[in-house]
Amino acid sequence: MPEGHTIHRAARDHQKLFVGYKVDVSSPQGRFNNGAKSISKLECVAVEAYGKHLLYEFKNDQFLHIHLGLFGRIRRRKLPIEEAKGKVRVRLVGKTHFVDINGPTICEILDEESKSKLIDRIGPDLLRKDADPNKFFERVISSRAKIGTLLMDQSVVAGIGNIYRTELLWRQKIHPNILGKDLDRSQLENLWNDARALLEVGVKRNKIITNFKKAGSVNADSLNIYKKKKCPGCMGVISKIEISGRVAYFCVYCQSETS
Ligand SMILES: [Zn+2]
């Protein structure tokens, strides 16, 4: 599954490709013909990411809303147009490039009102400058759910996927099973700031990097404990548990279960 940074990266890239231009929108696969028609050949006025949701705004105040889900793919190519590869749900053609989106979980047209409702449902997005960390702190501190669950809940905080969850909790020495209500404000502030910094690096480098010591070397190992056997901090054995349907890795020595 793409983590939040890949969607923000796509949004920043697609802003350059489409904003200010009349975009040809079509559905080579045919499943999105009507939606595509309602925005095609209109000027694209903004492309934004909210968590893992991509929103392309058009001149008629309609939004193309994309969520890739587990299997969706974005393909970006220079013009001229090529034949569609696989089941392309929606194709956007700009001045210099075209973008094909295959297999998204969500591909729909929203009006201003339904777009606002969508954004209200999404938690503060670590990669947005306008994100309000207090919303995240309040949701976590008032919750009896595990922090490992809360970090993956996009209505609590948007942008963290399974790899970042594991790496962030290890970096902040927080056990994934600790309940939200048992964490204190300074732990959450550190978590928020670290997550923001790591995701920003992810967008810039197009890669998840959480271990900066090794990231520059050849065959760089840019992660600390995700899918690893040994903890680089204490050389202890890495444990794993399933939380929210995904495997979380942690070090019992470095990440104490009592906060
Ligand atoms: Zn350790």
How do residues 120-169 score in pLDDT, each as one tens digit?
A: 899 999 999 999 999 999 999 999 999 999 999 999 999 898 999 999 99
- Residues near ion ligand 1 (Cβ under 5 Å): 231, 233-234, 236, 251, 253-254
- Please name the CATH architecture into which domain 4-121 falls: Alpha-Beta Barrel (3.20)
CB distance 158 to 54 below 8 Å: no
Architecture, CATH, for domain 133-251: Orthogonal Bundle (1.10)
pLDDT tens figures, 180-227:
999 999 999 999 999 999 999 988 888 899 998 755 554 457 899 999
Compute CA distances 228 → 222, 225, 249, 250, whole Å: 12, 5, 8, 10
Report the separation in Å between the CA atom of 251 and the middle of ligand 1, taken as the mean of its atom positions: 5
Kind plus residue range of the DSSP H or E element containing 28:
none
Domain range summary for the chain, segments of one domain joined by +:
4-121, 133-251
How distant, in Å, are the alpha carbons of 47, 135, 169, 176 from that of 183? 36, 15, 12, 11
Is 104 considered catalytic here? no
Neighbours of 96 (CB within 10 A): 10
> How large is the C-alpha radius of gyration of the chain?
20
